[in-house]
Structure 1
């Protein structure tokens, strides 16, 4: 049994598919299958029940999974502690962040981080908050930036609120303004052609809940896009949407309008595991993150502006 075999096993257990697991960890699918076969041979038991299109854990696999995760966490801890001996001139940072943060706050912080610590290996996982907190709890991330105010007490995670961000209406800068110098009400927004994010986005959940609470429905013309595509569609005049302020003001060709009745906000938090001291690489990221958040907080509101 080797740690590489266990890493392959955990990847397949997480995604339930050999090919997708191989893509996720960056090896060829035949190599991953050989690693799993060798692990099963050494243990003397099948680890998966294989059915067309997917695989599920066998009884032996269920027993092995928590042990394998702990062993891989121990390897990561060993690498981290050795890297700490050289400060942040080397090492690795495994960061998780939601898509909207990746195109705004995270891009800014990683630009500064790379300039200050070019020897640190950076790994970014882009996913929804629930997925990120699950990966963090399993030891597969060092820190994560999520959209949440609290986490279940049993998760072994701590959330540190960083910023309360306004959600704004975005429309094409080349089209007439939605309103004459004022914020737009949700009832008025419901009358506009709307471009909606994929339904697994935290942003989509907040917007859908706001419409439902007001007894309204959006006039959706495009649905299921990633946030970057949503902002591109809006900039081309296909419809309007709701976006986080930071993402909106980083994207050209948009007009930003405030939303009222009700105003919408979201809380950006830093998630980390309790009882695990941050590595030097993670601590350096946190310092740069705090600087960036302070700058965002001090920046003037952009509602009513056009992003060039």
Structure 2
């Protein structure tokens, strides 16, 4: 794995403040994310860059790398500014769609970085189920969307590129006893519990209903029609269980994750219309998205696999 600019940004931040915690705050990331990136950087360079004592200090290797890192970051900023002027991404608009779980688990951090890199671009975010997002792309009300690939494929009018493969698990309140002592649960066993069901149009609803039908059981629905954040809050409150993607468990200690057996997976894809060339602002967003997943591949979020990690945004969009 090659050295990335994000790793160098984290390295310079720690070198400036001499604290991993403060550097993470300055960088706007969780400390485990920053520490993991720096460990990867040290492995790639073949030497430790910090003495991690009571006070963080640079090693001789760190002292040697620091001015080089500063120069590389400065050169990257110059290159970005120059290309932005040419490509026209200092101004403009990008209309992005994503499912609620992806807004929670991926897009929040991506859009923060994108806004920092391109503050002049106006972002319009639509949060909806995959089918409404596909409809929005076809109608032209969205430029790009993160959608769930259904069993019968996506509309042929759209170009899609797989981005993530994520597992679906059962969410239950951590305040209650575990659903299964062996660490996994079947759909038949889950059918004994009440469910919180997302609104119509969300793939999670359809996936859950198909899994129940395949197991030959009927769901016991306590509440239906909720958006993702409401689903999670209802589960935390003990209203019922829910089948949700592993991405949403990060940062929610009041939720317990139980794996389904057999496991359920879904594929997340980036989609756009095939008959319209992506404008520079859309390509810039795709670059930020790919770069974020390459540097922080949501390793702490359960079983989530990043697909095509080494592609550029332009390559991803076809």
* TM-based fold match above 0.5: yes
Are the structure 2 counterparts of residues 97 and 84 from structure 1 closer, same or farther at C-alpha, using a change threshold of 3 Å?
farther
1:218 corresponds to 2:219: yes
| 1:256/1:302 contact within 8 Å kept | no
Are the structure 2 counterparts of residues 160 and 302 from structure 1 closer, same or farther at C-alpha, using a change threshold of 3 Å?
closer
Cα root mean square deviation, aligned: 2.1
Note the C-alpha offset of 1:248: 2.5
- SS class of match (2:172): strand
Query: TM-score, normalised on structure 1?
Result: 0.66
- SS class of match (2:257): strand
Q: How does 1:1-308 map to 2 (within 5 A)?
A: 85=86, 87-148=88-149, 150-153=153-156, 155=157, 157-260=158-261, 262-294=262-294, 297=297, 299-300=299-300, 302=302
- SS class of match (1:88): coil
The count of aligned residue pairs is 218
Mapped partners of 1:181, 1:291: distance in 2: 37
Q: Which runs of 5+ in 1 are unaligned?
A: 1-82, 304-308
- SS class of match (1:103): helix
Mapped partners of 1:129, 1:223: distance in 2: 18
Q: Which runs of 5+ in 2 are unaligned?
A: 1-83, 304-318
Note the C-alpha offset of 1:163: 0.9
| 1:161/1:267 contact within 8 Å kept | yes
Note the C-alpha offset of 1:181: 4.7
- SS class of match (1:224): strand
Query: TM-score, normalised on structure 2?
Result: 0.64
Structure 1 outlier segments of 4+, above 4 Å = 83-86, 295-298
Note the C-alpha offset of 1:297: 4.5
- SS class of match (1:104): helix
Q: Deviations over 1:200-230 (max 9, x none)?
A: 2111000001101110112221222111111
Are the structure 2 counterparts of residues 302 and 96 from structure 1 closer, same or farther at C-alpha, using a change threshold of 3 Å?
closer
| 1:84/1:91 contact within 8 Å kept | no
Q: Deviations over 1:10-67 (max 9, x none)?
A: xxxxxxxxxxxxxxxxxxxxxxxxxxxxxxxxxxxxxxxxxxxxxxxxxxxxxxxxxx
